[in-house]
Amino acid sequence: MNILLTGATGKVGSRLLAHLVRRGDHVRALVRDPIRAAAICGDQAELVRGDLLDPGSLSAAMRGIDAVVHCAAFFRGATPEQAHAVNELGTRHLASAARDASVGRFVFLSTGLVYGPNAGRQAHEDDPCAPMDAYPLSKLAAERVLLGVEGLDVRILRLPFVYGDGDPHIEEIIPFARGFPPGQRMALGHHADIAQAVMRVLDAASPTYRIYNVVDDEAPDLATLFAAVGQPPPDGTDAERAAAFGALPDGSRLREDLGFKPAFPRLADALAAGRM
CA–CA–CA angle 14, 75, 249 (5° rounding): 85
Is the CB of residue 221 less than 8 Å from the CB of residue 187? no
Q: What is the structure's pLDDT at 209?
A: 95
Question: How many whole angstroms separate alpha carbon 248 and alpha carbon 126?
Answer: 14
Q: What is the mean pLDDT of residues 166-195?
A: 97
Quote the pLDDT of residue 13. 97
Q: What's the rounded Cα separation, in Å, for the pair 30 and 138?
A: 21
DSSP alpha helix (H) spans, the chain: 11-22, 34-41, 80-83, 90-100, 134-147, 169-173, 191-203, 222-227, 239-242, 252-258, 267-273
Residue 88: closest CA among 72, 106, 68, 102: 72
Which residues have C-beta within 8 Å of that of residue 229, sequence separation ≥ 6?
Answer: 170, 171, 174, 276
| Fold type of domain 2-168+188-220+247-266 | Rossmann fold (3.40.50)
Q: Give mean pLDDT, residues 72-81.
A: 85
Write down the pLDDT at residue 25: 98
Give the count of beta carbons closer than 10 Å to the beta carbon of residue 20: 22
Q: Indicate the average pLDDT of the chain.
A: 96
Query: Is the preceding peptide bond at 233 cis, omega within 30 degrees of 0?
Result: no
Task: Tell me the residue type at 85.
Answer: A
Tens digits of residue pLDDT in 243-263: 989 899 999 999 999 999 999
Half-sphere exposure of 40 (CA within 13 A, CB side): 19
Question: pLDDT of 33-45, one tens digit each?
Answer: 999 999 999 999 9
Query: Percent of the chain at pLDDT above 90?
Result: 92
What's the pLDDT at 79?
87
Would you say 17 and 5 are in contact if contact means Cβ atoms under 8 Å apart?
yes
Across residues 156-169, what is the average pLDDT? 97
Residues facing residue 206 across a β-bridge: none
- What is residue 149's DSSP assignment? -
Give the whole-angstrom CA distance, residue 272 versus residue 249. 25
Would you state the pLDDT for residue 21?
97
pLDDT at 76 over 90: no
The pLDDT value given to residue 88: 96
Q: Mean pLDDT over residues 98-113, rounded? A: 97
Min mean pLDDT across 112-121, 167-176, 208-217 is at: 112-121
pTM of the model: 0.97
Q: Which residues pair with 185 in a beta bridge?
A: 221
Closest listed residue to residue 97, CA positions, set 139, 53, 61 = 61
51 neighbors 37 (Cβ within 8 angstroms): no
Q: How far apart, in whole angstroms, are the C-alpha atoms of residue 275 and residue 163?
A: 9
Which residue ranges make up each domain of the chain?
Answer: 2-168+188-220+247-266
Q: What number of other Cβ atoms are within 10 A of residue 92's Cβ? A: 17
Inform me whether the pLDDT recorded for 99 exceeds 90. yes
Nearest to 7 by CA among 43, 44, 52: 52
Q: Is the CB of residue 78 less than 8 Å from the CB of residue 135?
A: yes
Query: Does position 119 have pLDDT exceeding 90, yes or no?
Result: no
